[in-house]
Amino acid sequence: MIISPSRETLDKLVCHQVHNLFLLDEDEREKLVGLIPGVLGKVEYCFGHSSNKYYRKDGVVFFDVYHSGQYCIFLYFLSRSLFLESSGNTDLAAKVYCLNKALNGLDVFYEIAMPEIFHLDHPVGSVLGRATYGNNFTFAQLCTVGNNKGIFPEIGENVQMLSGSKIIGKCKIGDNVIISANAYVKDTDIPANSLVFGSSPNLVIKPRKVLPE
């Protein structure tokens, strides 16, 4: 994977940003930098499945540190890795989570298990709760995934949430579903290969033709 401008710049940038906002002691700095190689492996795998032209350069997976969407995904994987390695002390994971929220306007907590492959486009204002997410989950700005009475959605593979859409509560979203812009799905199951419009309980669900890979 190509890292632009460099891996060294990435290490310095993350440490500098966390320290400036929340303070970073030497033990935390060492732990953070030590986890970055593993995180970059997750980033490379995720980016390698993107069809976005900005995620590849000369046929090689490309990570532009100054591309906010790419950096956003990197920071999520970093906060998640720090949480999994925290042994109960989640302060550093929380700092990176808050850095991501401050820089990119995305609220995806480090305890939430995003899939190995997910995509985003202008994630500002989106909040992703403790749902189950399938691979190739894609979302845009102002999207919400949340609970109703403590029950979260189950989201299949290749699900796309367009801008302003919401999935709330006891929902099972099938594979290859597109939730249209500003649609509101609450406590409703959606069959696979569907296009969804409108608001619960008056949703409009249309079949979607999915081309074979």
Q: How does pLDDT run across 10-34, given as a tens digit for each residue?
A: 999 999 999 999 999 999 999 999 9
- pLDDT, tens digit, 9 for 90 and up, residues 191-210: 999 999 999 999 999 999 87
In sequence order, the 6+-apart residues with CB closer than 8 A to the CB of 68 are 103, 104
- Give the model's pLDDT for residue 60: 97
Q: For residue 133, which amino acid is it?
A: Y
Dump pLDDT digits (tens) for 92-115: 999 999 999 999 999 999 999 999
pTM of the model: 0.96
**pLDDT-derived band of residue 2, with 50, 70 and 90 as boundaries?**
very high
pLDDT digits (tens, 9 = 90+) for 28-65: 999 999 999 999 999 999 999 999 999 999 999 999 99
Specify the pLDDT at position 165: 98
Picking from 92, 127, 95, the residue whose alpha carbon sits closest to that of residue 112 is 127
pLDDT exceeds cutoff 90 at 88? no
Structure confidence at residue 134 as a pLDDT band (50, 70, 90): very high
Buried b or exposed e, range 28-50, using 16+ CB within 10 angstroms: bbeebeebbeebbebbbebbeeb
Query: Which tokens belong to 149?
Result: 């009475």
When pLDDT is cut at 50, 70 and 90, the band that residue 160 belongs to is: very high
Q: What is the pLDDT of residue 209?
A: 82
The mean of the pLDDT values for the chain is 96
Confidence of residue 213 (pLDDT cuts 50, 70, 90): low
Q: Is the pLDDT of residue 212 over 80?
A: no
- Residue 166, CA distances (Å) to 13, 152, 202 in order: 34, 12, 14
Which domains can be identified in the chain, with CATH numbers?
A: 2-104 (no CATH), 118-207 (2.160.10.10)
